[in-house]
Amino acid sequence: MRKLMMAANWKMNMSLADLEGYIDTLKKNRNVQSGDRLLETVLAMPYPFLFRARELIRGTRIRLGAQNAHWQERGAFTGEVSIGMLKELGVTEVILGHSERRQQFGEYDEVVAKKVQTCIHHDMRALLCVGETLEERKSGQTFSVVQRQLDAVFSGLADLTKLVIAYEPVWAIGTGVSASSAQAQEVHRFIRDKAKQKFGDAADSLLILYGGSMNLSNVRELVAQPDIDGGLIGGASLDASLFSQMLDAVLS
């Protein structure tokens, strides 16, 4: 049986002053204490919070995540942060290839693939985001786009052990319009099938998260789908008590 993962993507939100209160609230949830080992909870936060957050989550099962990193170890890359540096801070998961990075920062498939490889080389988990834009969906390109994004990464991978995939239709991110559970399941199934073709039965253990306007009212139905193993949550993760209720909802 696959585990579930709920990963919060704070994007460029929150402040150091909010951190303690947020984590205190989340700590009250039995699932992040010693509770249900079926659920992994990741907080992917801005870099400046990581050092303090590492202290605050000590003794809980919350995992520390980042939202991006450079694929090189070090060098003349002003403004960038390497995956090794994040590892030193206790980060175990890194979101890579988020559509906001692809669209606003020009991250194309090959760059995303290099980042995933470096992440895995450091024995950290890559949360690879894939998904189509509204135009691509409307013109029937959903599967070809997702396939292209997967192929770029799969071609350089030996196995799936350190990979988590998040299907995030771009049209659903931050819009309040989630994919229906049927729409999401269809693409999740496609992703698992593609992973199976390349990596065999290991694909049965691959975690595939859904992201895009996931909230307390739709999380349970989405995660009840056979190939949806949790969520990558932006807006709704900014409120600790709401996020905590979502953790409960996926296990209920």
Binding site for ligand PEP (CB under 6 A): 9, 168, 173-174, 211-214, 232-236
* Least Å from the CB of residue 164 to ligand PEP: 13
Phi-psi region of 64 (alpha: psi -120 to 50; beta: other; left: phi over 0): beta
**DSSP 8-state class, residue 70:** B
Cβ pair 229, 192 in contact under 8 A: no
Residue 98 known to be catalytic: yes
Q: Which is nearer to ligand PEP, 1 or 12 (CB)?
A: 12
* Least Å from the CB of residue 236 to ligand PEP: 6
- The C-alpha atoms of residue 203 and residue 193 are separated, in whole angstroms, by 8
Q: Which is nearer to ligand PEP, 19 or 236 (CB)?
A: 236
Catalytic residue among 98, 107, 132, 136: 98
The residue nearest ligand PEP at its CB is 234
Residue 80 known to be catalytic: no
Alpha helices in 122-180 (DSSP H): 134-138, 142-154
- The C-alpha atoms of residue 161 and residue 207 are separated, in whole angstroms, by 10
Q: Which is nearer to ligand PEP, 34 or 180 (CB)?
A: 180
Phi-psi region of 142 (alpha: psi -120 to 50; beta: other; left: phi over 0): alpha
Catalytic residue among 40, 93, 136, 168: 168
Q: How many CA atoms lie within 13 A of 146 on its CB side?
A: 26
Phi/psi of residue 74, each to 5°? Answer: -165, 175
* Least Å from the CB of residue 175 to ligand PEP: 7
**DSSP 8-state class, residue 248:** H
* Least Å from the CB of residue 195 to ligand PEP: 20
Q: Which is nearer to ligand PEP, 10 or 199 (CB)?
A: 10
- The C-alpha atoms of residue 205 and residue 165 are separated, in whole angstroms, by 12
Active site residues: 98, 168
